[in-house]
Amino acid sequence: MEESVRLAPGGLEVGGKVLPLHAGSVHYWRLEPAHWRACLEATKALGLKFVDIYIPWAIHETAPGVLDLGERDPKLDVAAFIRLAGELGLYVIARPGPHINAELTYFGIPERVVWDPACQARTPEQNPVMLPMLPAAFPVPSYASTVFHDETARYFSELGKVIAPLMYPKGPIVMLQVDNEGALYFRDGVYDQDYHPDAITLYRSFIRDKYKSIDALAHAYGFDPQAAGTPRFGDLDPPKRFDAKTVEDLARHIDWAEFQEQLLAMALDRFSAALDASGMTGVPRTHNFPPGQDATPLNAARVTRPMGSERAGVDLVGYDYYSDASPVSRAVIARRTTELAVRTVALGQPAYACEMGAGFPPFFPPLDERDSAFTVMTALAYGLRGFNLYMAVERDRWIGAPIDREGRERPFALFWRKLIAALEKVSFHELTRYAPVRILTPRNERRLARAMHAFGPLPAAFFAVLGRGARDTSLEDDFGLGYPPAVEADTFTRTIESALDARGVPYAHIGGEDRDVSLEGARWVIAVSSGGLSKTLFARLEDAAKGGARVTIGPRKPELGGARRALVEPFDLDRLRVSKTSIPVVVEAAPSGVEAAVALAVEELGLPTFSAEPDPVFATLHHDKAGKPAVLFVIHPGDTDLVARVSVGPNVTNASDLMKDQSFTVEGGSIELSLKPKTVRMLALS
C-alpha cells in the first residue's frame, strides 16, 4: 500500500484509497477529556471519516514561546486527542492557525501579540486597525509584519514537537490548514489597511517587479518621468482613498487592490514555510475562504501553488458556508459553488467546504436546522463534493450542533447521517455536474468594484453575503465614459444569469484571474467587460476559441487594458470568432439582446437544458463516469408548497428520493414531485 496522502478529484487519497472528504469539527480544548471518546465515536457514527480540529495558539500559550500541550491542563493534550481519533479509525485535519477565529476572543491569537504595535495592521493614518468583534474589539495583526511572522514561526516550532510525529503515515493527521479566512480579518476594504511599514516595503517591491522601469510606471500612472518630484519606486505610496477622476487615474487604485491579493498569497506562503520548518510536512494544505470571498482580496489562483511548484503555499482552497434558506441564498450559493467546482475539477481536486455550518455562533443571525440542510444540499447541487460539518459537537459560543458535549446525538444528527449515507450510496464524490457555459468575471473587474465600494467601513463582502453586488454598492462615477463601469458589469452578469436560468442551461462562474484554469471544458464563455480586459486574459479567450469554445464579451467592447490603461495595440475581436456562428462576440446589457444571444447559443451549440417549473424551482443534474444521469437535485427556495415538473431527458425512466422512501416514474422525460418550502430534494436516477 502506498503510504502517502494526496488530493484527488473525489476527495483525499490516503494510502492508495480515495476517501470522500466528509469531516466534522470537534474542539478538544472545549470538552472534558472524559467525553472525548464518546464525542469522537458519535462523530464517526454520523458517517464521517475525518475529524477537523483547530489548535488555538492563545489557549495553549502560557508565556511567550511556551506552550501547555497537556503537561498542566489535560484538556490541552492535543496529541492524546489526535491519537484517540486514530485509534477509533478517524483521520485528522489539523488547523493550527495562527488565526483560527473559532469565536475565540482575539481569534485565538495571544493577547500579547495583538496588542504589540509591531504586529498590528495600520490604517492610512497609521492607527491600529480595529475589528469591532464580540465579545471584545481588538487590533488585527498585519499579514506583512515580520514580527508577527516571527512570533508565528516560534509558535509553530514548539507545536511541531508534538504534532510532527503524528503526521501520516506515522499518525492520523492527513491534512493541514494554513491560517483561516485570510480576508484581512474582515477589515478588507481596499483603503482600510494595510499601511504597516513592512506592507509599504512589500508594495513598493510589487510595483517595481510589475513595471520594471520608471518610464513604464509613468506611462501607466500618467505622469511625466522627467518632471521634478517624479515618484520613484523607493518612495511610492499607495492611494489612501478612492480619488480617481478620470479613467487614467484608475490604474494605481487597481494596482493597490491587486497588491493586497499578492500580500495575502505571500503571507500564506510564509506561514506554510514556517510549518515546513516545524516538521509538520508531508500532507496537503488547505485554506478556507469566507462567505463573500469574491468581494475580498482573496484570490484562489494566487493563493494556490501550481502543481509541481516548490512554493510553500496552499494546495487546496475551500469555502465556508453559512446561509439561510431563501431565494437570495440559493443564488449566492450557486455563484460561489460553481466557481469553486470548475476550478477544483480542472486541478484534479475535490470541491470542498472547509466549514459547512451546522448551527451558528450566538452573535450571528439565527440559522435553524432547515437553513443548514438547505445550504448543504444546495451546495451539493451546484458541485460541492465534500464538507466539514462545523460544528459536529457542541461547545461554548455555538448553538445547533447535532452532538452534545457528552457525545449524545440530538435530533438534527439524523439528517446528517441520512445525507452522508445517501452520498455514499451513489458514490456522489465520483459524479460530475457538467457546466458547458462559463460566466467569466475578470479579476480586474472585481478589483475595480472593490476600489469603488461606496459604503466605507462596511466592506463589500458584507453585501456580497446578502446577495448584493456592485450595482447595489459601488460608486456610480463614470470617469467620462458615459456609464458607471462597476455597476454596468454587475448588471450584465445578473442579466446573463437570469437568461440562462430561465432556459435551464447549466453554467458556472469563473473568477477570471489571468492564470485561472477554469476555462477547460467550456463550450460557451461569456466574459464580462466594462470596457477593459487584460492582454493575458484576452489571449486565454483566444485559446479557448481556437479550442472550439464560442466566446462572447459584454456589455462593453474592451478598448482598454484590464487596469484601464491605454492599449498600444487594440484587441482584434475577430480572433475570437474562429468558426461560423451567429452567436455575437459582443453583446450589450439590454435583457432582449442577452436573451437573444442565449437562445442562439442553445440552438447552435445544442446546450443541455434542465428546465424546472414553476418559479422559483431550480434543477441540477449530475452524471456518472459513463456520462449517464445519476443524481438530480430539485431546489425550492420559496415560501409555499408546490408541485414541480422537472425535465431530465429521454434516457431516464425511474427516480427515487435518496433521503425519503419515495419513488417516481419518469414520463415524457419529466418528473413531477411535491416540494415543501425552502427545501431541496435529491433523487437517484436510473
Q: What is the pLDDT of residues 447-494, one digit of tens each?
A: 999 999 999 878 888 888 888 888 899 999 999 899 999 999 999 999
Higher pLDDT, 180 or 248: 180
What residues does CATH 3.40.50 cover in the chain?
437-605
Class of domain 437-605 as given by CATH: alpha beta
pLDDT value of position 363 = 83
Q: What is the per-residue pLDDT across 146-161, written as a single tens digit (0 to 9) for each? A: 999 999 999 999 999 9
Average pLDDT over every residue of 555-580: 90
Looking at the chain, the domain(s) classified CATH 2.60.40.1180 span 612-685
pLDDT at 650: 81
Examine the pLDDT at 87 and tell me if it is beyond 50: yes
- pLDDT of 308 above 80: no
Q: What's the pLDDT band for 517 if we cut at 50, 70, 90?
A: confident
pTM: 0.96
Which run of H or of E encompasses 644? strand 642-647
Q: Give the pLDDT band (50/70/90) at residue 1.
A: very low
Report the alpha-carbon distance of residue 386 to residue 175 in Å, rounded. Answer: 14
pLDDT band of 515, cuts 50, 70, 90: low
C-alpha torsion sign, points 260, 459, 461, 139: positive
- 3-class secondary structure, 404: coil
Fold of 5-197+255-430: TIM Barrel (3.20.20)
Residues of the chain with CATH 3.20.20.80: 5-197+255-430
Q: Does residue 2 have a pLDDT over 70? A: no
- Distance CA(527)–CA(517), nearest Å, equals 15
User: In this model, does residue 514 exceed pLDDT 70?
Assistant: no
pLDDT digits 0-9 by tens, 170-204: 999 999 999 999 999 999 999 999 999 999 999 99
C-alpha neighbours within 13 Å on the C-beta side of residue 368: 5
Average predicted confidence (pLDDT) for the chain: 94
Q: What is the DSSP letter of 118?
A: G
Burial profile 635-672: b = 16 or more Cβ within 10 angstroms, e = fewer? bbbbeeebebbbbbeeebeebebbbeeeebebeeebbe
The fraction of the chain above a pLDDT of 90, given in percent, is 85
Distance CA 370, CA 415 (A): 10
pLDDT of residue 338: 97
* 167 has pLDDT over 60: yes
What is d(CA 622, CA 682) in angstroms, rounded to the nearest whole number? 11
Q: Which CATH number applies to 612-685?
A: 2.60.40.1180
| Per-residue pLDDT at 226 | 83
Q: Which of 265, 125, 244, 302 is nearest to 196 (CA)?
A: 125
Share of the chain above pLDDT 70, in %: 99
Q: Return the amino acid letter for 13.
A: E
**What digits encode the pLDDT tens for the residues 268-287?**
999 999 999 999 999 999 99
